[in-house]
Chains A and B, each alone.
Chain A
Amino acid sequence: MKNIKNDLINEEIHDYLNPEYVYIPIQSGYELVAKENGKVLKEEVILTKGNSNIYSPISGTIVGQTDSVLLNNKKVKSLVIKNDYKESVKKNTGAVRYISDYSKKELISLIKEYQASSVDLSTDAKRLIINGIDKDPFEKTRSYIIDSYSDKILETIDALIDVLDIKETIFAINCNDTDNVINLSSHIGTYPNIKLKLMPDMYPIGFKSILLKNILSKKQISEGVLVIQVEDLLNIYTVLKRKKPILEKLVTISGNAIDKSMVVRTKIGVSMVDLIKHVCNIKNDDYFVVINGLISGVTLEDLNNLITPNVRSIFLNTLDKQKEVECINCGLCTLQCPLHLNPKYIKEHSKANKSACIHCGLCTYICPSRINFKPYLGGSNEE
């Protein structure tokens, strides 16, 4: 589906890096390292489980525990850290000069230790695809990441090529993302191993499986391919260059219930209520909170959820109240389905094969009869 327009204004990235409180969910198996009511420094380990650590995104005081905030709609006990606004760091580790000097083992271990990416880099794949296309047409997160950190991203890709012995690397971006096309085209000459691929402005090309289908042949995919999102590359850069945990991220904030849309740089662990309150005004109280895309995203119970590393966007949007009418048999759902499924058939036949569905929501979005296919489709979301 081409040209789904969004109403985001091209503005600078807004910062919300000094929240009054951050909340660190105490997930099962994790032990508390820091002392309650004690001081913590930024980047200090506060929870640990084996080799996996959770770090404090701010410096301040642990004021207690609460179960009033939600993590992905579930109540979890969280540590509450009150910010002292000093950003005091335990020790400055300094920066590594060349991130390509790491061995494969060191690189994988660092990425795992600091949870920079969930992509399995230990495979022997010889092809690397960088996904720089926003997953949802109403998101701008990836586009802003490339715009702001293109040098770091290209350096990281180059290092990964060396360390992982990658033979072919393709950097896929949206052809209508003009600023980034110009930006990357002027820098990519320094990196002859990276090919820039302009993909059509077509939803849902930002989905991993659809992107792969559009770039590689079935045979090439079966030979093994690594797909890394630009946000993961930025995390990998931070970890490799500075050996620091991932404490911040970019998030798109948009929707018809707020007064302005923007991309915000914020700390992980911030409550969405605090974030929204500080960066925009809610103009319609009849909203729902949706994360990671208006078309294919997940609805949260309320704004009392936390920003986690997986949150790319937050939308405060009202429901589409258009009435569903009888199917007009237009066949657009079938024609537009990126996986060539037949949503109308699936809706009418409970035993129909729907396992391949990636929940992109395009059939529901496109339907002129306003039929909601979502309840009938099985399969699993990529996320």
Chain B
Amino acid sequence: MKNNVYVRSHRSIKNISLVRIGLLVPLIIYGFYKNGIYLFVNKYATVLGMFKPLLFIIIGGLIGAIINLFYEFVIKKNRSKLIDLLFSSFHIEYGMLLGCVTSLNTNILLFSVTTFALLFISKFIRKRVNVMAIVFIIIYVLQMYLFKEYSFANNYETSRAFSLDFMDYMVGRGTGGIASTHIILLIVSMLGISVSNNNKSYITISSIVTAILLFGAYSIVSKNTLGALLLTNNILFVYTYIATDYITSSYTATGGVIFGILVGVLTFGFYFINPILSPFIAVAVVSLFNRLIDKIANRLNKSYV
């Protein structure tokens, strides 16, 4: 009785997921316009092709919802309200975020099967590794193996040659899927989830700062611009949404900063092996050590022990 709880905040997995996805809507709408409507109007895509950017997000979300429902209702025999079953874990968000980062040129069947299989398996595996990063890496590898190509450029973009500067990336003229097509909208969403306390901002900030420093230094000694290095290949999106996945990232502020720095450093390191995969591999590798990082952070903070 002494430890009874009478009142709780409204914060829940459902609430967090809806805010995070909701703040992505402007970016999704712009991505749909740029990679769907614009292509259809200019006869680079069919009516069905126009909806392809949205299709990945919808399929991803549906896969997450089906997995949650099946797992809770059939396996765990949970008879709570439908909405509670749907948002019993972050899988809907995972599926939709994967839809955002996946290239429009990816085979839809390949995306659907891989996402379903891996997200479903992740329900049973206690090992805490970032499942979104793993799914993306596997989709990329399979796409490359089966179809020999992986590009973020849409039909219109592949038909022309562009010379893009920093502001082009910022205002949505850069190539890329939905996730890195309009950096300003991404920053707005990033601020939204941070201000509403629905993001581990310390991870986002520390990883971006690390990446700016490393890629900035590299841009001085190479011919690449910082914009081309940092604002492409979903790097900012991964740092904002994928690296900060609640389950598989550090929960302490100090741990989060270490986590972010490691993600930034590894992204830079893997960039020279595969630029598209680099942020995902970095997140997957660092997420494996998230508990260790928190352990170190707790030891560093002497007031805890």
Contacts and interface: CB of A to CB of B under 8 A. Distances in A.
Interface of A: 1, 4, 138, 255, 288, 290, 294-295, 298-299, 301, 315, 317-320, 322-323, 325, 328-332, 334-335, 340-342, 344-346, 349, 351-353, 356, 364-370, 372, 374-375
A342 B6 contact: no
B155 interface: no
Interface of B: 1-9, 11-13, 15-16, 80, 88, 90, 197, 200, 246-253, 256, 290, 298, 301, 303-305
A299 B252 contact: no
Contacts of B4: 288, 290, 299, 319
28 contacts: A138-B7, A288-B1, A295-B6, A299-B1, A299-B4, A301-B1, A319-B6, A320-B5, A322-B8, A325-B13, A328-B13, A328-B246, A329-B290, A330-B246, A330-B251, A331-B252, A332-B11, A334-B253, A344-B251, A345-B298, A345-B304, A352-B304, A352-B305, A353-B303, A353-B305, A364-B8, A370-B8, A372-B5
A329 B261 CA distance: 19
A299 B1 CA distance: 7
B301 A342 contact: yes
Q: Do most interface residues of chain A lie in helix, strand or loop, or is the interface mixed?
A: loop
A218 to B, nearest CB: 15
A328 B249 CA distance: 10
A353 B90 CA distance: 32
Contacts of A353: 303-305
A100 to B, nearest CB: 43
B304 A290 contact: no
Contacts of B304: 341-342, 345-346, 352-353
Nearest to B8: A320
B11 A294 contact: no
Contacts of A364: 5, 8
A375 B4 CA distance: 9
A332 B6 contact: no
Classify the secondary structure of B's interface with A. loop
Contact of A368 (B11, B80, B249, B250): B11
Given A299-B1, A340-B303, A353-B303, A331 B251 contact: yes
Contacts of B197: 332, 335
B6 A341 contact: no
A335 B8 CA distance: 17
A290 B2 CA distance: 10
Nearest to A340: B303
A301 to B, nearest CB: 8
Contact of A334 (B1, B6, B252): B252
A351 B303 CA distance: 12
A317 B12 contact: no
A255 B7 CA distance: 10
A329 B246 CA distance: 6
A323 B84 CA distance: 11
Contacts of A344: 251
A366 B249 CA distance: 19
Task: Give the interface centre of A331, A340, A374 by most chain B CB atoms within 10 Å.
Answer: A331
Max chain A C-beta neighbours (<10 A), residue from B1, B9, B249, B298:
B9
B298 A342 contact: yes
A255 B4 CA distance: 14
Given A342-B298, A345-B304, 9 more contacts: A138-B7, A255-B6, A295-B6, A299-B2, A315-B6, A323-B80, A341-B303, A341-B304, A374-B3
Contacts of A367: 8, 11
Given A332-B197, A366-B11, A294 B6 contact: yes
Contacts of A298: 2
Contacts of B15: 368
Given A329-B246, A353-B304, A368-B12, A342 B252 contact: yes
B72 to A, nearest CB: 11
A309 to B, nearest CB: 22
A294 B8 CA distance: 10
A331 B7 contact: no
Given A330-B246, A352-B304, A318 B298 contact: no
Given A322-B8, A345-B304, A368-B13, A331 B3 contact: no
A341 B298 CA distance: 10
Nearest to A362: B9
Given A342-B298, A353-B304, A329 B251 contact: yes
Nearest to B200: A331
A345 B295 CA distance: 9
Contacts of B250: 331
Nearest to A376: B3
A328 B9 CA distance: 16
Contact of A320 (B6, B88, B251, B301): B6
Contact of B5 (A255, A349, A374): A374
A74 to B, nearest CB: 14
Contacts of A330: 16, 200, 246, 251
Contacts of A346: 304
Contacts of A365: 7-9
B251 A319 contact: no
A329 B247 contact: yes
Nearest to A324: B5
A334 B251 contact: yes
Contacts of A331: 200, 250-253, 256
A51 to B, nearest CB: 35
A356 B200 CA distance: 25
Contacts of B301: 342
